[in-house]
Amino acid sequence: MNISCSFLISFLTLVFAALPLRAQMSGVVADQGASPRVQPQSPEQLELSKLTTENLISDQKTKKKLQQLNSEKEALAAQYALDMQKQKSTVAALEAEFSRLSTENKISAEKHQIDISALQDQLEKATLENKLAEEKRKAEIAALESEYQTVTAQNKLVAGKSVAQVSKQNDELQKLSLENKLSEEKNKKDMSLISQRLDMMKAENDLKNERQRELTIADAKEKNAIDLEIKRLDLAERRLKLEKMSIDSKMDQLKSDLEMRGRKEEWKKEANKEPVYLDKPFSNNKLVISDRRISLNGPIFTGVADYVCERIHYYNNISSSPIFLVIDRSPGGSVMEGYRILKGMQASRAPVYVVVKSFAASMAAAITTLADKSYVYPNAIILHHQMSTMNWGNMTQLKEQLELAREWERRLAVPVAKRMGITLEEFRKKMYERNSDGDWKEFGDKAVEYHWATSVVDEIEETGFTKNPDAMDNRAKPRITSEEKVDEKGQRYVSLPRLEPFDFYFIYNPDRYYR
């Protein structure tokens, strides 16, 4: 950051005349009590803010679509649960109806049993009455026989006492004979009546037996009908169970198909191939990278050292196979964070190889140069320059801050110069020989000649990417987020996004549609 201040130029000219011009112009200086001037945002920064806002809106739309899909999925699951609950309710209603019919059948059977018991009691009562009548008839016959024997005995006694009275009593005998015959006729008549009564009672008993048999037959028919109805209900229940089993089987088949489809999709999301772990991953200008890789992209700020070092420690606890610190694009950043990354690399039991694919500057370039082994694409750019910062305070404070900056330069820039085989002063001089701002940048093949990297790599094989990036990465695919616009001449155009440092657009654009 170049902030002009005549007082600062005069002060630094007197005190540090030996420093290069860019070092004299670095930093933000103000007098005690003065306020730093706020730099207005450039058009590029405004465009970047606009693109960032549009990206956030696009992300919110994508999240909303995902929420809608999740809601539809939950609705389908709820409908399925509702259908299953309805089926369970139907089965439960049928089971309750079956239970009710069984209870009614039991109650009916108990009632029939009570009726049969009552009829049996009546039969026993009628039998007892018949026996009682028979006993009475026997008693009457015994009484008549006893009376006959008494009369006979009297007749014999009368005959024995007086033979003389035979003639007199012959009449009486005839009278008695007639009376006896009359009595016998009466007895026969009584016996006939009794026999008739017995026949009537037998007929009544036979009638009752016939009725009982008819009731038994009716009960048997009703029981058979109930058994038939029970069998029909049992058949219906079995049919329902078979239907339920068929539905469950179909549901299981559908679940199995869905699971199989999901597993196929999961299978497609992975390469189903193990990463390649080589002790010597670089051969014939080809580098083979395993899944023991750490990405270092963007600015190096607070927390980046923790991110990198924790993964170095983790991979060391697994094995001593090489670890790859892959830099796609990094403008550098914090010297403290970068120094911790370097110390973590030096303390690693497994070798840590730095790989630069596009761009590494400042602290990222220092990490690349000071690594034991580093590999760069031929067209990757490595950039070294002097450390810069913004200072604030009085003269004493500025001097202290400058001394601290010099110490950090000694700890970081001197090892880089030593790796190149030159002194720090020569390193500074060459920076400004290559570029008036002191930004010394070289392509990868040239950077190897200056020992900023150990080898140029023409081909990199990433064996650690075994899962489909589209399935596991929620980042949107690169696309132009700017909307189509119309200029003052009525021509349509689209604004291209800002490029990374030292990048260029190589695009066919005859009608200047892309701007």
Q: Is 94 exposed, middle or buried (0-12, 13-18, 19+ CB in 10 A)?
A: middle
Q: What is the pLDDT of residues 301-333, one digit of tens each?
A: 889 999 999 999 999 999 999 999 999 999 888
Say what the pLDDT of residue 452 is: 95
Residue 439 pLDDT exceeds 60: yes
Residue pair 383/361 in contact (Cβ under 8 Å)? The answer is yes
Phi, psi of 461 (to 5 degrees): -105, 110
Contact 380, 350 (CB under 8 A): no
Long-range contact set of residues 467-473: C-beta below 8 Å, sequence gap at least 24: 467/269, 467/270, 467/271, 468/268, 468/269, 468/270, 471/269, 472/269
Strand partners, 327: 356
Examine the pLDDT at 214 and tell me if it is beyond 90.
no
Architecture of domain 275-385+439-472: Alpha-Beta Complex (3.90)
Q: Kindly report the average pLDDT of the chain as a whole number.
A: 80
DSSP 333: B
Cα–Cα distance measured from residue 329 to residue 501, given in angstroms and rounded to the nearest whole number = 9
Apex 56 CA angle, 53 and 57, nearest 5: 90
Helix 166-268 and helix 43-161: axis angle, to 10°? Answer: 170
Q: Which helix H or strand E contains 441, and what residues bound it? A: strand 440-443
User: 3-state DSSP call for residue 485?
Assistant: strand
In the chain, the amino acid numbered 233 is L
Full-prediction pTM beyond 0.75? no
- Give the pLDDT confidence of 52-62 residue by residue, as tens digits: 888 889 888 88
Q: Which residue from 335, 337, 334, 341 is spatially nearest to 312, judged by alpha carbons?
A: 341
What's the mean pLDDT in 105-115?
81
Sequence-distant (≥ 6) Cβ neighbours of residue 515 within 8 angstroms: 493, 494, 495, 496
Spatial separation of the C-alpha atoms in residues 202 and 207, rounded to whole Å = 8
Q: Which residue has the tokens 């806002």?
A: 53
Write down the H helix ranges in 16-42: 21-25
| 219, pLDDT greater than 60 | yes
Q: Is the pLDDT of residue 474 over 80?
A: no
| Residues 429, 22 contacting (CB under 8 angstroms) | no
Helices 335-347 and 363-370 sit at what angle, rounded to 10 degrees?
20
- Angle, CA 503 vertex, CA 501 and CA 508 arms, to 5°: 150
Residue 296 has pLDDT above 70, yes or no: yes
**Model pLDDT, residue 18:** 42
Residue 485 has φ and ψ, to the nearest 5°, of -125, 170
pLDDT in tens, 400-417: 777 877 888 888 888 999
Within 8 A by CB and 6+ apart from 440, the residues are 383, 384, 385, 430, 431, 434
- Is the model's pLDDT at 16 over the cut of 60? no
What distance in Å separates the CA atoms of residue 195 and residue 273, rounded to the nearest whole number? Answer: 112
pLDDT of residue 121: 82
Tens of pLDDT along 487-514? 888 888 888 777 777 666 666 677 878 7
Give the amino acid at 386: Q
The full DSSP string for 397-426 is HHHHHHHHHHHHHHHHHHHHHHHHTS-HHH
CA distance 129 to 131: 5
Alpha-carbon distance of 34 to 11, in angstroms, equals: 17
More confident residue, 458 or 25: 458
In whole angstroms, how far apart are CA 58 and each of 64, 83, 243, 427, 481? Answer: 10, 38, 49, 47, 9
- Tell me which range, 83-87, 421-425, 495-499, is most confidently predicted by mean pLDDT: 421-425
Residue 479: the pLDDT is: 56
Where do we find the tokens 């990433």? 462
> Is residue 27 left, alpha or beta, with left meaning phi > 0 and alpha meaning psi from -120 to 50?
left
Higher-confidence residue: 286 or 178? Answer: 286
Under 8 Å between Cβ of 428 and 386: yes
> Where in the chain are the domains?
97-268, 275-385+439-472, 480-515
**Phi, psi values for residue 363, rounded to 5°:** -65, -35
Contacts with 37 (C-beta within 8 Å, 6 or more apart), sequence order: 3
Let me know how many helices (H) and strands (E) the chain has, helices first.
11, 12
Asked if residue 338 lies in contact with residue 367, where contact means CB atoms within 8 angstroms, the answer is yes
Alpha-carbon distance of 405 to 59, in angstroms, equals 41
* Short-list 323, 295, 314, CA closest to 469: 295
Take residue 385 and report the two structure tokens written for it. 């320059």
3-class DSSP state for residue 358? strand
Alpha-carbon distance of 137 to 131, in angstroms, equals 10
CB atoms closer than 10 angstroms to residue 280: 7
**What pLDDT is recorded for position 265?**
64
The better pLDDT of the pair 510, 251 is held by 251
The residue to which tokens 């009595």 are assigned: 183
